[in-house]
Amino acid sequence: MKTNLKARTIVIVVTILLCIYGIIGLPTSKAALEQNVKDSIHLGLDLKGGSHLVLEVQVQDAVKADADTTMDRLKEDLKKQNISWQSMDRNDPQTVAEADKVEVTIKGIPSTQSSAFRSLVAERYPTYILTAVNSTDYTMKLKPSDLIDLKRDTVQRTMDTISNRIDQLGLAEKAVQQYGRAGADYEILVQLPGVDDPARVKELIGTAAVLEIDDVKDGPFPTRDAALAQHGGVLPLNTKLVKSKPRGTAAGEEWYLVGKTPVISGREMRNARPGQDEFRKWETNFNLSPDGGKRFGRYTEANIGNRLAVVLDNQTVSVATIQSKIEDSGRITGLGGEEEATDLSRYLRSGSLPAGVKYLEERSVGPSLGADSIHEGLVAGIVGLAAVIFVMLLYYKRSGVNAVLALILNTVILLAAISYFHAVLTLPGIAGVILTIGMAVDSNVLIFERIREELRTGKGVVAAVDAGFNKAWWTIVDTHVTTVVSCAFLFLFGEGPVKGFAVTLVIGLIANVFTAVFVSRTIFDYELQGHRQMEALSI
């Protein structure tokens, strides 16, 4: 073993250098040093300050919307096939748990036309199951597999939309991720470092903003009544009235009569940005999805000269005239200026949330608390380390130095590993580092006590050191494995700060096996080198 002492020393020195590099990089000045440390060690929200939101996607909204679209299409199909019906409705479950109960009820299909009805539904609505309640009434429900797909898809699109909207805040790092068990839970986690007032963010995320592009039938009218009066007091079939969002200078409100079913829904909007045309007038350019583009192309070709309204949350934000056929890329011109163009593109870009969200949890930590916590953590760490070093030196004399070196190296490796793995350091994580110091020293104590015992039985120094390390090895493994198992469960079941704690403790323990056994042994061997007949060991 002595022969490869040099090789082992090189391994240790290289490890030390890599770790130091990982933590402080190659700094050229004190400021650069601080900056490098800040960059390499990612701080959790509880140390940096920021907010953490957990939202539940109200998937029942998406299922209901699908049922609504189905009802509209069905009504048209029944008309085309001359099948009469009495009423068509859907129920209205309000919670996520009841999302599976959404169903459409159709009443009054004459029994003579029931087979025509059935084949119509089977052919045109393959994702639905048709059940007969009696000879004239039916219910339709989504097939289970399609229901699951729709729910999962809704969560994914909601995550994407929220991601887009938060992007506009220009946060350096943000995370929108699935939370809980995918497919069973519909929860999203949003982490916003540095944002200690999530009210603004919640505004941006919105709750159930819906974006549509609707076909304008008539308008503008100064009031709702004026609009109705124009049409004999009754809303024409398949239309709705929308108010226009009051813009800064224009006084009062305007009402438009638009088609109920949108031409393009927010789901098809892919991108939008403000720009200037050849006359330096502001306009908004937008892109649609390929499917949306095809549908839009067919529609615009047939409706040149008619108007379209961009409607957000049932309020018109912009009305424009169709100039030519537009497929998946078009522009809205005639806007008031840069601000209007930018705002409009932001609305378009936000797309629409396919379902509402409910906030389940919100935590914000102000940056002052984060700074205080780091400071306190450092103080505790230094005090703990100093106490341990003092006791080790006192109790084990020069071998204590050995242990202290291994301990310091352990801490350095732990910090470097946190940096290299991009693990997040939280306040419990700092506690984990401090705890690692206490636990790491255990390995050394095990070995040293064993060496003392072996020396007491009369063994020579070299043999005693050998025996000490060998006999203690399996005990070290056992003790580390049990704590790692504990931490594994903590990692699985914990969240945020607790996960950070589990990660730091596990990394610290694994590093400890390296430092307490490999490094300590090398230091001992170094000391015993050439002293084969060493008479006593300072331990």
HEC string of 499-528 equals HHHHHHHHHHHHHHHHHHHHHHHHHHHHHH
Residue 189 beta carbon to other proteins: minimum distance, rounded to whole angstroms: 11
Alpha-carbon span 335 to 333, nearest angstrom: 5
Among 369, 408, 510, 528, binds other proteins (CB under 8 A): 369
C-alpha angle 242-245-247 in degrees, rounded to nearest 5: 150
User: Crossing angle of helices 461-493/497-513, nearest 10°?
Assistant: 160
Contact call for residues 205 and 166 (beta carbons, < 8 A): yes
Q: Which of 366, 398, 421, 531 binds other proteins (CB under 8 A)?
A: 366
461 scored as a contact of other proteins (CB under 8 A): yes
Q: Contact letters (x/-) for other proteins, 398-417, by CB under 8 A? A: --------------------
Site for other proteins contains 190 (CB under 8 A): no
Is the Cβ of residue 10 or residue 463 nearer to other proteins in the bound state?
463
Is residue 361 at the binding interface for other proteins, with CB under 8 A as the rule?
yes
Helical residues (DSSP H) of 265-366, grouped into ranges: 290-302, 338-350
Distances in Å between the Cα of 124 and the Cα atoms of 114, 120, 140, 294 are 15, 6, 13, 20
Residues 321-340 that bind other proteins (CB under 8 A): none
Measure the CA–CA gap between 83 and 63, rounded to whole angstroms.
26
Alpha-carbon separation of residue 303 from 217, 241, 291, 325, 334 (angstroms): 11, 20, 19, 8, 19
Binding status of residue 421 toward other proteins by CB under 8 A: no
Which member of 242, 446, 507, 523 binds other proteins (CB under 8 A)?
Answer: 446
Report how far residue 473's alpha carbon sits from residue 514's, in angstroms, rounded to the nearest whole number: 12
Nearer to other proteins, 115 or 457 (CB): 457
Q: Does 489 bind other proteins (CB under 8 A)?
A: yes
Chain residues 116-175 in contact with other proteins, contact rule CB under 8 A: none
Task: Return the structure tokens found at 178.
Answer: 């699935």
Q: Which helix (H) or strand (E) holds 243?
A: strand 239-244
Which residue among 14, 132, 302, 383 contacts other proteins (CB under 8 A)? 383
By CB under 8 A, residue 508 contacts other proteins? no
Contact region for other proteins (CB under 8 A) — 10-18, 114-122, 154-162, 486-494? 486-494
Interface with other proteins (CB under 8 A), residue from 40, 244, 284, 373: 373
297 binds other proteins (CB under 8 A): no
379 binds other proteins (CB under 8 A): yes
Do the Cβ atoms of 32 and 342 come closer than 8 Å? no
Q: Give least dist CB 205 to other proteins, A.
A: 11
Kindly report the number of other CB atoms within 10 A of residue 79's CB atom. Answer: 11
Binding mask of the shown chain, residues 52 to 91, with x at each position contacting other proteins by CB under 8 A: --x-x-----------------------------------
Run of H or E including 535: none
Answer for which of 111, 238, 306, 482 binds other proteins (CB under 8 A) is: 482
Contact between 343 and other proteins by CB under 8 A: the answer reads no
Task: Determine which residue in the list 439, 510, 513, 528 makes contact with other proteins, applying CB under 8 A.
Answer: 439
